[in-house]
Amino acid sequence: MVELKDGVRLYQYKGFWIPSPFLHPFIFNQPIFQLQDTDIVLSTFPKSGTTWLKALAFAIVNRSHYPLKHSPLLTNNSHQLVPCLERDLYAKIQSPPRLIMATHSPYGLLPVSILNCNCRIVYLCRNPLDQFVSHWHFRVRLREQTLLPVSLEEAFEMMCNGVQSFGPIWGHMLEYWRASIEQPEKILFLKYEDLKEDIKFYVKKLANFLGCPFSEEEESQEMIKEIAKLCSFDNMKSLEVNKKGKFSNGFKNDLFFRKGEVGDWKKHLTPSMAERFEKLLEEKLEESGLTF
């Protein structure tokens, strides 16, 4: 166990550093309610675009129930619309019609009920240096009124040793990467940077993968473009609910919207830090075919 300066406790479990509030469900690998083949699991390493992926999947899957103009995404933070597997769902035995849930779980620690059914898994990862900088800012803002400032150098050292929530990040990404190669019909592996590059292509790809492709009519009505716009960083950040809203635990919704840029790490890390991590990552991902 390590206790970080901000009080977060990480426990090493089957090769991954799990934050204490999440440990119980992982250890007991509790059976959850019976999953339907149509259910969807969105999996991410923290700070890799979970908020975005939740919004995209919600908008795509529910587009026939909610016209985009009246989307619940306009008045709710996407975390309120897509529950977290470990925090919100284990405790409840339920089986809603088409459930979208999210998790930061490593692939190998997913409940067997997810692994053994035909539900789809979408995994989103991000350049680990941008993920690191994003997470560091998040922790600094969370602690604004409390404890000591988190040192970037110290956090970086821990990341290089794999000590971060749900880390090491390379292990987390590799497990999903390999599983997506073995079962491409079950697991879609996405990168934040690719979505930023061509979001319309990926909205379409997601809809196809989730079994709800856009009809010709929808395409001609520019539904793909509209979903991309609804879920865009600028739009989501500007919504009243995300500027002023709060979670029940007091977290402000705006914590989840910072810059939404690719390559922001260059403004925070020295070239030697980046070089050290990139070398390490190259070794860890060697021969996997996964690159950043």
By CB under 6 A, name the binding residues for ligand A3P.
44, 46-52, 130, 134, 137, 231-233, 236, 256-260, 264
Least Cβ distance, residue 99 to ligand A3P (angstroms)? 20
104 an active-site residue?
yes
Cα-trace Rg, the chain: 19
Least Cβ distance, residue 236 to ligand A3P (angstroms)? 5
Residue with smaller CB distance to ligand A3P, 187 or 195: 195
Least Cβ distance, residue 157 to ligand A3P (angstroms)? 20
Reading phi first (left if > 0) and then psi (alpha if -120 to 50, else beta), residue 13 is in beta
Integer CA distances (angstroms), 58 to 53, 121, 176, 202, 205, in order: 8, 14, 22, 14, 14
Q: Out of 104, 135, 137, 172, which one is annotated catalytic? A: 104
Instruction: Report whether 63 contacts 224 (CB < 8 A).
Output: no
> Rounded distance, CA 156 to CA 260, Å?
20
Q: Which two tokens stand for residue 65?
A: 């129930």
Preceding amide of 168 cis, omega within 30: yes
Residue with smaller CB distance to ligand A3P, 123 or 256: 256
**Phi and psi at residue 86, to the nearest 5°:** -75, -35
Q: Compute the C-alpha angle 110/115/118, nearest 5°.
A: 140
> Rounded distance, CA 128 to CA 292, Å?
8
Residue with smaller CB distance to ligand A3P, 193 or 218: 193
Least Cβ distance, residue 264 to ligand A3P (angstroms)? 5
Least Cβ distance, residue 182 to ligand A3P (angstroms)? 25
Q: Is 280 exposed, middle or buried (0-12, 13-18, 19+ CB in 10 A)?
A: middle
Residue with smaller CB distance to ligand A3P, 102 or 281: 102
Residue with smaller CB distance to ligand A3P, 71 or 134: 134
Residues annotated as catalytic (active site), given as ranges:
104
